[in-house]
Structure 1
Amino acid sequence: MVFCGAKEELVEQLSPKTAESAPEPATSNERTDSEQREASAIRQDVWSVPTLRLLSASRNVKLAFCSDITHLRAYLATYSARTIKQQAVGGIDSAAGTRILAIANLINLHRPTSAFSAQGLNRTLSGAVEAAHDTRSKLVFVECTEPITSVAEEWTPAQGDEPGNDPPPLISVWDEEVSILNVTTKSFGAGERGWVGRTVKLRTIAARWCSFSTVDER
């Protein structure tokens, strides 16, 4: 599994999920002391398991962190060579099951860079596909980013707006549009988007390499 970001970012994303696992009171909006202690115990039990350490020490699971695009592309470019070497010295046995190459938050890694475009994403995706093909791995992309607004600018209600003036609807990250080519200009401020020419949805870019599936929430 390749996580696009630092280890601290992964822990931060897991934290809200842990908090949500605490039981909710049945008849009151305020928790009793016993309920608070129980919720705290659940969180402590979850975090007492050294998950990252177990993944790091596991023989069949390897967890890697790539904090920038250059690091990710370099990791994918050398992935097949490392995997073949591991097999030669008695590492992962492909006959034991299907090898999986999972990449989390690839889109989010590209977002703050000039490579947040069809050109930049296709270059990274092609490297991932090549790495999976050379090692006969099943390639999986997972994006943990929250839904975004349908416009680039942040919505703020104007003074005197009527109550019916609702904010723009949220859309899937994969339905966001990006430019065809890399945008190299740095003249726009944070959150602003200048002219980028023709655009295409992220879903269309990814569909060139893979198919989409919905994971059932349990």
Structure 2
Amino acid sequence: MEPTRKIYCCDWVTEFLQYILDTTTEPVSLIICSTRDSFLVNLALTIQSQPKHTPNIQELLKDTIGLLANSTRVRLIFCPTLEHLRAYIGVLRPTNDDNVQHGTAAGQNQRPPLVAILNCLALHLPTSEFSAQGLSRTLAAAVEVTSQKGMDLVLCECRDAASSADPMRGEALWYAQVPLLNSAVRTGGDNAAGGGLTVPVKSIAQRWFECSGTSRSETDTTII
């Protein structure tokens, strides 16, 4: 079965983790674009914000972390900087166990191993590479490596539970307008950067990815 590449849209990290756990049976490399501590804090705050009728917060947190930690098919990778992310993508490959399971699954017409990247855009946001040039470099590298290795690829941007009103986190980032070139190479004024032209992040990603289930309109854009 041919590998797929898609963008999954949801608000909260708990939703994305549940999607990974509930809808996949293949081996998963879950790349989280933050430190481990930041991820755990965000996860805990997200669970605390759930409706009051949900089960005990500690139990929810324990269950989610436990499912990830004890899963034989989910591998957690933390990439706190863009350099870490690109370096890991460069050496990304299925483990021996992934290959064995995929070989068995292929005979059953199941999916290839999955690479899931959480908050890739947010990792670019504070850098000089939140641009068409910088984002294309990262996304193209991920697409090339996963295609060569026969792995599915899914991206997701989730809101920050510590700052839930932040307009520059979560799905909004797919609609952000970014310059064509990295800020580090935009010298000589706007003319050197392509006359100040910008492009929506989503249109960059759509060169390679299928977008699913958006809750925003195409005209609902955020300007960078």
TM-score, shorter chain, exceeding 0.5: yes
Q: 1:115 — aligned with what?
A: 129
Structure 2 gap segments, 5+ residues each: 1-29, 216-224
Q: 1:176 — aligned with what?
A: 176
Three-state SS of the structure 1 residue aligned to 2:184 is coil
Three-state SS of the structure 1 residue aligned to 2:45 is helix
State the shift of 1:14 in Å: 1.5
Q: Is the 8 A contact 1:84 1:135 kept in 2?
A: no
Which amino acid is the alignment partner of residue 206 of structure 2?
A: A
Distance 2:38 2:103 in 1: 31
Which amino acid is the alignment partner of residue 210 of structure 1?
A: F
Kindly report which structure 2 residues correspond to 1:48-59, keeping only aligned pairs within 5 A, or say none: 48-49=62-63, 51=65, 55-56=68-69, 58-59=71-72
Structure whose residues are more often helix by fraction? 2
State the shift of 1:23 in Å: 2.2
**Please, what TM-score do these two structures have when normalized by structure 2?**
0.65
Distance 1:87 1:48 in 2: 26
Q: 1:75 — aligned with what?
A: 88
Residue range with higher mean Cα deviation, 9-18 or 203-212: 9-18
Post-superposition Cα deviations, 1:14-33, rounded to whole Å, max 9, x if no partner, equal 22331233426xxxxxxxxx
Q: 1:208 — aligned with what?
A: 207
Which amino acid is the alignment partner of residue 114 of structure 1?
A: S
Q: 2:10 — aligned with what?
A: none
Compared with structure 1, are the counterparts of its residues 87 and 102 closer, same or farther at alpha carbon in structure 2 (3 Å cutoff)?
Answer: closer
Q: Is the 8 A contact 2:44 2:61 kept in 1?
A: no
- Provide the aligned length of Structure 1 versus Structure 2: 168
State the shift of 1:136 in Å: 1.4
**Please, what TM-score do these two structures have when normalized by structure 1?**
0.66
Q: Is the 8 A contact 2:43 2:61 kept in 1?
A: no
Three-state SS of the structure 2 residue aligned to 1:9 is helix
- Give 1 or 2 for the bigger CA radius of gyration: 1
Q: 1:21 — aligned with what?
A: 50
- Relative CO higher for 1 or 2, CA cutoff 8 Å, sep ≥ 6? 2
